Structure 1
Amino acid sequence: MTLSWALTDALTITRRSIWHWMRQPYAIIFGLLFPIMLTVLFGYLFGGAMQVPGDSGNYMEFMLPGMFVMVMAFGIGETMVAVATDREKGVTDRFRSMPMASSAVVLGRAIADMLYSAVLLAVMLGFGLLVGWSAHNGLGNALLAVGLLLLLRFAMVWIGVYLGLVIQGPEASATVQTMLFPLTMITNTFADPDTMPAWLGTIAEWNPLSATVTAIRELFGNPGVGGMDHPILLAIAWPVLLTAIFFPLAVARYRRLSA
């Protein structure tokens, strides 16, 4: 089977996902509104009580880079639910019975989710501009920051695909989605880890998401916390490592599914 055949099959799966979104736009609308709601909640309800590191008193500029990262990380749950739903409804088995590349289903899902994530990130960046956030270090650094965010999302896609192929039942799915909240919130997004209890601050500093938050704050020129060496390098290394682990796991798990 040639590479072009596999890519054609993957793009067919991608078009299926896009068509599904067009027929059920409420899921897309909620997905776009949820991070905006979180931004308003944390930024305006709690922002006045937060101390912003550095000279800037603009909490939105401090928080928004972390919110961009959180939105990319929450994609784990969206991908996982979509893959698990197809598997439980027998859609995946029907795909496996067709003469198509074995990796096309997971690759097509990944492409579709990356397209959706790009739209979601564009909406969040636009909303950030409306509420007082801005990028101060030029277009080149801003584009590099966007690239790091999408690289992180790419790694999250493969974690979501793998979990979607592994989990059994809605209870397990709900548990994984619940665990996304501590994963995304115990970071340096909302507060300096130095203000946390020592054990919690250590977890926040070692959370891979914190590296991306620190890196894009630096690239956007937003206020942030110090203490992390080479954040841009870490923001590349962590997603690459996660992709190297979960991409082969996802493809191998798909191939082991019973037809």
Structure 2
Amino acid sequence: MNSKIVVAHRGASGYLPEHTMEAKAMAYAMNPDFIEQDLVLSKDDVPVVIHDIYLDDVTDVAVKFPSRKREDDRYYVIDFTFEELQSLHVSERFDPKTGEQFYPSRFPKGKGSFKLHSLQQEIELIQGLNKSTGKSIGIYPEIKNPEFHLKNGKDIAQITIEVLSEYGYTTKKDNCIFQCFDAKELERVRKELKSDLFLVQLIEFPEETKQLDHFATYADGIGPWYKQVIDKKVNGKWQFTSLVEDAHK
């Protein structure tokens, strides 16, 4: 199989603040196959579309709620209700200590009027656009740090699966690819929560590329770091590792 799919990572994140509705609408207009959603739960169990369990590197939480940080000086999505989260202003990613924008050539930090939103709101945007344009662009949700959520008394996998089901995403045919870095949790999604979605095991560390046999017992694919796929240049040409071939086997 040689067909490739294009995934809008965090939306059109090179052009607008990542994971905002505006970044998703622009991504949609660029015709990808899928648009990605990173998910973290709010205090009142709403799956919020944001890249990390922290708020202080993409919002003005430190200005609006200065007293709500934890002992490590970080502000956590899970400590705020969805209503509180929606009062925050989202901007281009920055260093919370210095305030410096990570990618200076991207959308200017602090400009515009961007907000956080829920998985439900984003699905409604994408499904609504599918209806009004006649396209069929899929969703690509990723649950972030399920172990942290469980330690804080929340089951992000189950809550997310329920929301996806409500919107018609239940099987491999439903234009939804579900991903996670936590192998134990992704296996649980398949075996304990009995999800029939297309599951992708994200892999970060070199030793994980040796666990393909196990991943294949519950996942439909892997999401490796690009350096696990591309090896080195020989005579100006990139050489590839055996990972793709191994995964196909």
Query: What TM-score do you get using the length of structure 2 for normalisation?
Result: 0.28
> Which fold has the larger relative contact order, with Cα–Cα distance below 8 Å and residues 6 or more apart in sequence?
1
Query: What TM-score do you get using the length of structure 1 for normalisation?
Result: 0.27
Question: Which structure has greater strand proportion?
Answer: 2
